Chains A and B, each alone.
Chain A
Amino acid sequence: MRKWLQKGRMLSLFAMLALLLMGCGDPTLSTLIPQGEVADKQFQLMLISISIMILVLVVVFVLYAFVLVKFRKRKGDESTPKQVEGNHMLELLWTVIPILLLIILAVPTVMRTFEFSADAQPASKQELSIKVTGHQYWWEFEYPKEELITSQELVLPANTKVHVELSSADVIHSFWIPSLAGKTDTNPGDKNKNYMWFDTGSKTDVVYKGKCAELCGASHALMDFKVRVVSKEDYQNWVAGYKAADGKSSANANGQQIFAKNCLSCHAVGQEGGNTGPSLTGFGDKDRVAGILDHNKENLVKWIKDPQEVKPGNNMPKVNLSDEEIEAVSDYLLGLKLK
Chain B
Amino acid sequence: MATHESHKKKSVFMDWLTTVDHKKIGILYLLAGGFFFLIGGLEAILMRIQLMEPDSKIFTGELYNQLLTMHGTTMIFLAAMPIIFGFMNAIVPLQLGARDVAFPFVNAVGFWLFFFGGLLLNLSWFLGGAPEAGWTAYAPLSTVAEDTGVDFYVLGLQIAGAGTLAGGINFLVTIINMRAPGMTFMRMPLFTWASFVTSGLILFAFPALTVGFFLLMFERVFDANFFNPDMGGNVLIWEHIFWIFGHPEVYILILPAFGIISEIVSTFSNKRLFGYSAMVFATVLIGFLGFMVWVHHMFTVGLGPVANSIFAVATMAIAIPTGVKIFNWIFTMWGGQIRFSTAMLFSVGFIPTFVMGGVTGVMLSVPAADYQYHDSYFVVAHFHYVIVGGLILGLFAGLYYWYPRMFNRVLNETLGKWNFWLFFIGFHLTFFPQHWLGLMGMPRRVYTYMSGQDLDGSNFVSTIGAILMGAGTIVLLINIIISASSKYKTTKDPWDGRTLEWSMPLPTPEYNFAQTPLVRGLDALYVEKSVGNGEMTPAEPVGEIHMPNGSILPFILSLGMFIAGFGFIYSSWIVAGAGMGLVLITMFLRSVIDDHGYHIHKEEVEADIKGGRA
Contact = CB atoms under 8 A, between A and B. Distances in A.
Same assembly:
yes
Interface of A: 3, 10, 14, 17-18, 20-26, 29-32, 39, 41-43, 45-46, 49-50, 52-53, 56-57, 60-61, 63-64, 67-68, 71-74, 77, 80-87, 90-91, 94-95, 98-99, 102, 105-106, 109-110, 112-117, 119-120, 166, 170-172, 174, 176, 178-179, 181-185, 187-195, 209, 211-222, 292, 312-313
B425 A106 contact: no
Interface centre among B359, B362, B432, B443 (most CB of A within 10 A): B443
B133 interface: yes
A83 B271 contact: yes
Contact of B333 (A25, A42, A71): A71
Contacts of A115: 368
B534 interface: no
B103 interface: no
B304 interface: yes
Q: Chain B: interface residue count, which band?
A: 35 or more
Interface in B332-361: 333-340, 348, 351-352, 355-356, 359-360
Contacts of B474: none
B14 interface: no
Interface in B432-476: 432-433, 436, 439-441, 443-450, 452-455, 457-458, 461
Interface stretch (B58-66, B148-156, B190-198): B58-66
B428 A14 contact: yes
B73 interface: no
B441 A178 contact: yes
Nearest to A13: B425
B553 to A, nearest CB: 41
B133 A215 contact: yes
A43 B362 CA distance: 15
A170 B319 CA distance: 38
Given A21-B436, A213-B376, A172 B323 contact: no
Contacts of B229: 188-192
A220 B446 contact: yes
A221 B305 contact: no
A212 B443 contact: yes
B185 interface: no
Interface stretch (B203-211, B241-249, B274-282): B274-282
A221 B50 CA distance: 13
B302 A194 contact: yes
Given A29-B440, A98-B319, A213-B443, A86 B278 contact: yes
B335 A46 contact: no
Interface string B251-290: 0000000000000000001111011111000000000000
B576 to A, nearest CB: 29
A189 B230 CA distance: 7
A95 B324 CA distance: 6
Contact of A178 (B271, B326, B372): B372
Contact of A110 (B60, B132, B309, B339): B309
Nearest to A190: B229
B375 interface: yes
Interface of B: 60-62, 64-65, 132-134, 138, 140-141, 144, 229-230, 233-236, 269-272, 274-278, 300-302, 304-305, 308-309, 312-313, 316-317, 319-320, 323-324, 326-328, 330-331, 333-340, 348, 351-352, 355-356, 359-360, 362-363, 365-372, 374-376, 425, 428-429, 432-433, 436, 439-441, 443-450, 452-455, 457-458, 461, 530
A215 B274 contact: no
Contact of A215 (B134, B271, B305, B461): B134
B143 to A, nearest CB: 9
B338 A187 contact: no
A23 B457 CA distance: 11
9 contacts: A20-B457, A25-B453, A68-B333, A81-B271, A83-B271, A84-B331, A172-B140, A185-B302, A215-B133
A185 B376 CA distance: 13
A222 to B, nearest CB: 8
